[in-house]
Chain A
Amino acid sequence: MLTTPLNDEHVSLGATFTDFGGWNMPVRYGSDLDEHHAVRNSAGLFDISHMGELHVVGAEATKFLDSILVSDISKLSIGQAKYTIICSKDGGIIDDLIVYKMDPEDYLIVANASNRHAVLVAMQDMADYGFKVDIFDETEDWALVAIQGPKAKDILGKLVDTDLTELKYYSIAKANLDGVPVLLARTGYTGEDGFEIYIPVLESASIWRKLLATGGKDLLPCGLAARDTLRLEAGMPLYGHELNRTLTPFEANLGRIVAFDKGEFNSKTELLKASGQKLETKLFGVRGEGKRAARADYEIFLPGGESSIGKITSGVLSPTLGYPIAMAYLKADLDLTPGSKLEADVRGTRVPYEIVKLPFYKAER
């Protein structure tokens, strides 16, 4: 199993570990609820070095990315980040990604740990058509940590030589953090303001410690358990749950990021077809009552209905909201709208659920 450059830090902090996408990752350090609430109310620090970093450089880097990603990459300005998707030729989602434009011919692409090789293979196949581009897998050259929460900016601000107010949401810049050159991106996966910091491996442990020391009681190290409940409250999809190869961006409510007007790209024909057809299933947000949460793979029914209308893909008792929330793929032809009543089968018992608007939780900014 792969370990991140911060593994020893997690061990000394008493973390519980799990295998995630082939990486030995911290699930929690103490209470995952405390970690969750720290991010909503103060700040949390995550090691997300398992994420894949792919570097795409070359005279045709922009043209190349436009040929394989669904978004219009040519519209990005230097320092801008974009949430996008890479689809296979048949329109299925290979991964969701963040693309950062570093320089005119230089892009950093962040992929999910479990999809890093699939993305690399898809890109290499496309590059073989003769694009003037080089693709480097730099995953193991970087440590990636995320500092997230309303106090993230103040804590990080004490250690960097740049004005963080100037770094807008979904942008990236070079900076020195405690004297170490890093990349700072104002992105995240928690629904809170925050930053993701790309740190050279050798300096990563000292910066991790420095951040924790600077944050003091306002900053808690957070594991993947809290990361999952935070992203779910924020209505953000997780590959393998809400996204997979058999789904197109339209079913996943991500049709808005497909740029059909940008020219040709690998999945355009199939996605155009999909966008013109009625969807069979669609991703919805649902909520329950009480404290008993329906979880991934539980079936959803219309009230009293005999046959399932779909399945939950992620579900949890929301730590922030106090009631069960879930995302579910449900039949798209049932006129389901916020307030529509449903039932979830929770291990043999039908419990009331209803459709709600996504996201479940939105931070005040």
Chain B
Amino acid sequence: MANPENLQYTKEHEWVLVAGDVATVGITQYAADALGEIVYVDLPKPGSSTSYMKICGEIESTKSVGELYAPMDGEVIESNSALGNAPEAINQDPYGAGWLIKIKYTQLPELLTAAEYAALTGE
């Protein structure tokens, strides 16, 4: 599957879209497929702070629980409330309607390119 070229990635299978001082974060198609059908998400509330590679949320499928790692230091300014009633959007459209949180970041770490991430997942 194609990882969008305009996004950056983490080793924990998140994607990051940077626009100004705000980064939108989601999980990759690879991660969504590996989890299976997602039935519940527990996302950090707006106003909470995030630390690089610290767990900040949970994504549950019927079969397993995945942890969401914050890709950067910062403050959550919005979480995708539409996922409360429709968590399957993460499976169906992980790079669009399935976005998880927006972070106003204080520092941007080094992230992976689409090609680097593809190499990581062996695709």
Contact = CB atoms under 8 A, between A and B. Distances in A.
Nearest to B41: A291
Interface stretch (A24-32, A127-135, A249-257, A352-360): A24-32
B91 A31 contact: yes
A104 interface: no
B73 interface: no
A31 B40 contact: no
Contact of A317 (B33, B39, B42, B58): B39
Interface string A10-42: 000000100000000001100111001000000
B58 A347 contact: yes
Interface in A134-163: none
B65 interface: yes
Interface residues of A, number: 18
A33 B39 CA distance: 9
A86 to B, nearest CB: 29
Contacts of B78: none
A295 B37 CA distance: 16
Instruction: Classify the interface of chain A: helix, strand, loop or mixed.
Output: mixed
B109 to A, nearest CB: 26
A259 interface: no
B62 A292 contact: no
Given A292-B60, A293-B60, A317-B60, A28 B42 contact: no
Nearest to A319: B62
A36 B42 CA distance: 24
Contacts of A295: 65
A365 to B, nearest CB: 26
A31 B88 CA distance: 10
A319 B58 CA distance: 19
B33 A292 contact: no
Interface residues on B, range: 10 to 19
Contacts of A112: none
Interface in A289-327: 291-293, 295, 316-317, 319
Given A31-B91, A33-B39, A292-B42, A225 B62 contact: yes
B36 A317 contact: no
Interface string A208-237: 000000000000000001001100000000
B37 A32 contact: yes
A316 B63 CA distance: 7
Interface in B31-76: 33, 36-37, 39-40, 42, 58, 60, 62-63, 65
B62 A317 contact: yes
Nearest to B87: A291
Given A33-B39, A225-B62, A292-B42, 6 more contacts: A28-B37, A31-B91, A32-B63, A225-B36, A291-B39, A317-B62
Interface of B: 33, 36-37, 39-40, 42, 58, 60, 62-63, 65, 88, 91
17 contacts: A16-B36, A27-B36, A27-B63, A28-B37, A31-B37, A31-B91, A32-B37, A32-B62, A32-B63, A33-B39, A228-B63, A291-B40, A292-B42, A293-B40, A293-B60, A316-B62, A317-B39
Question: Which 6 A-B pairs have CB atoms at the shortest separation, nearest pair first?
Answer: A291-B40, A33-B37, A317-B39, A31-B37, A32-B37, A225-B63
